[in-house]
């Protein structure tokens, strides 16, 4: 099972769940993870996706490594994924 940590700002889509588990036997791509996440949390893709890829304001970490390949990044079947929206404010 892939565990996706949902940022506080997006928990409205996950029923206020901090984590969502997705069945991804044998692993797959980040694109597939996002498709499964949309089925589990309808509407979340509108916040995570932009022009067919991961929104530039979202950092994706797979097993504590920042993804450089976006939706084509390989995701192991037991991965932990953290979606981190850009921080605003400050100088």
Is the residue at 22 inside a domain? yes
Residues 42-59: pLDDT tens digits? 999 999 999 999 999 999
| In the chain, % of residues over pLDDT 70 | 95
Number of separate domains in the chain: 1
Is the residue at 91 inside a domain? no
Range of the domain at 49: 2-85
Query: Residue 63 and residue 81: Cα distance in Å, rounded?
Result: 6
Is the residue at 90 inside a domain? no
Domain CATH code at residue 16: 3.10.20.30
Is the residue at 35 inside a domain? yes
Residue 89: is its pLDDT beyond 60?
Answer: no
Q: In which band, very low, low, confident or very high, does the pLDDT at 86 lie, cut at 50, 70 and 90? A: confident
In Å, how far are 14, 32, 34, 40, 89 from 72, measured between CA atoms?
24, 9, 11, 20, 31
Summarize the confidence of residues 8-35 as an average pLDDT: 96
Top pLDDT among 73 and 87 is at 73
């Amino acid at each position: 099972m892939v565990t996706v940590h949902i940022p506080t700002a997006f928990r409205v889509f996950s029923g206020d769940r901090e984590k969502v588990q997705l069945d991804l036997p044998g692993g797959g791509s980040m694109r597939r993870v996002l498709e499964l996440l949309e089925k589990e949390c309808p509407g979340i893709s509108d916040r995570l996706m932009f022009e067919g890829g991961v929104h530039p304001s979202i950092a994706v970490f797979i097993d504590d490594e920042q993804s450089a390949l976006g939706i084509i990044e390989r995701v192991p079947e037991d991965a932990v994924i953290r979606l981190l929206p850009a921080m605003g404010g400050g100088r």
